[in-house]
């Protein structure tokens, strides 16, 4: 276990660890979870050695526990990420991120004529195909897919 070795990114006493993040989306994960505005320790490691992935990213967020819907949004960019809950330096739960049924706010609608691209409106999508990542806009009803997906600034 990596935790038993010398840790490149320090352990946290309580909080959430997101492990096995692809190196190119670490900062996107941080943005999706709104951690730029989080007022406690966030430890970020990237390009760390990983047996399974070659290189990987890891994010440790002190004293932060997510609800499922919130954390599952990261599956959009890091479908193989592990979400580990730490209490008292111990792993109490380890789960895989899962694409949620609904995605609010973080993604832009790909339709340039959609009202959400003109007014300050939180986007809302229903996930109609989790395997191929196909999202239907609640407003314009058009589909945004993996290929056309862009994150909100």
Partner 1 sequence: MGNLKGRNLISITDFSKEEYIQVLDIAEEFEKKPKQPILSDKVVATLFFEPSTRTRLSFESAANQLGARIIGFSDPGGTSVQKGESLHDTIVMVASYADLIVMRNPKEGSSRYASEVSAVPVINAGDGANQHPTQCMLDLYSIRKTQGTLENLQIACVGDLKYGRTVHSLVQAMCNFNATFHLVSPQELKLPSSVKASIKNAGLKYYQYTDLNDVIQTADIIYMTRVQRERFPDPLEYERVKDSCILSASMLKDCKPTMKVLHPLPRVNEITVDVDSTPYAYYFQQAQNGVYVRQALMAAILGVR
Task: Kindly state the smallest distance separating residue 99's Cβ from partner 1, in Å.
Answer: 20
Contacts of 33 (CB under 8 A, 6+ apart): 61, 66, 70, 71, 73, 74
Q: Which is nearer to partner 1, 66 or 143 (CB)?
A: 143
Q: Which is nearer to partner 1, 31 or 142 (CB)?
A: 142
Task: Kindly state the smallest distance separating residue 70's Cβ from partner 1, in Å.
Answer: 22
User: Which residues are near partner 1 by CB under 8 A?
Assistant: 109, 111, 113-116, 118-121, 137-143
Q: Which is nearer to partner 1, 64 or 138 (CB)?
A: 138
Task: Kindly state the smallest distance separating residue 124's Cβ from partner 1, in Å.
Answer: 10
User: What DSSP character marks residue 106?
Assistant: S
Q: Which is nearer to partner 1, 13 or 101 (CB)?
A: 101
Contacts of 104 (CB under 8 A, 6+ apart): 122, 123, 124, 125
Task: Kindly state the smallest distance separating residue 119's Cβ from partner 1, in Å.
Answer: 5
What kind and span of H or E run contains 137?
A: strand 134-137
Find, among 74, 132, 67, 145, the residue nearest to 106 by Cα.
74
């Amino acid at each position: 276990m990596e935790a038993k070795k010398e840790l490149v990114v320090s352990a946290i006493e309580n909080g959430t660890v997101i492990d096995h993040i692809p190196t190119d989306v670490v900062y996107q994960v941080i943005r999706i979870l709104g951690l730029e505005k989080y007022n406690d320790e966030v430890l970020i490691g990237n390009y760390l050695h990983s047996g399974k992935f070659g290189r990987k990213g890891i994010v440790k967020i002190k004293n932060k526990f997510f609800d499922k819907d919130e954390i599952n949004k990261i599956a959009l960019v890091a479908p193989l990420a592990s979400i580990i809950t730490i209490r008292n330096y111990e792993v109490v739960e380890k789960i895989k991120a899962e694409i949620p049924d609904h995605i609010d706010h973080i993604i832009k609608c790909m339709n340039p004529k959609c009202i959400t691209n003109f007014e300050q409106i939180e986007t809302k999508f229903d996930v109609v195909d989790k395997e191929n990542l196909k999202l239907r806009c609640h407003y314009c009803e058009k589909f945004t897919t993996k290929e056309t997906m862009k994150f909100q600034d």
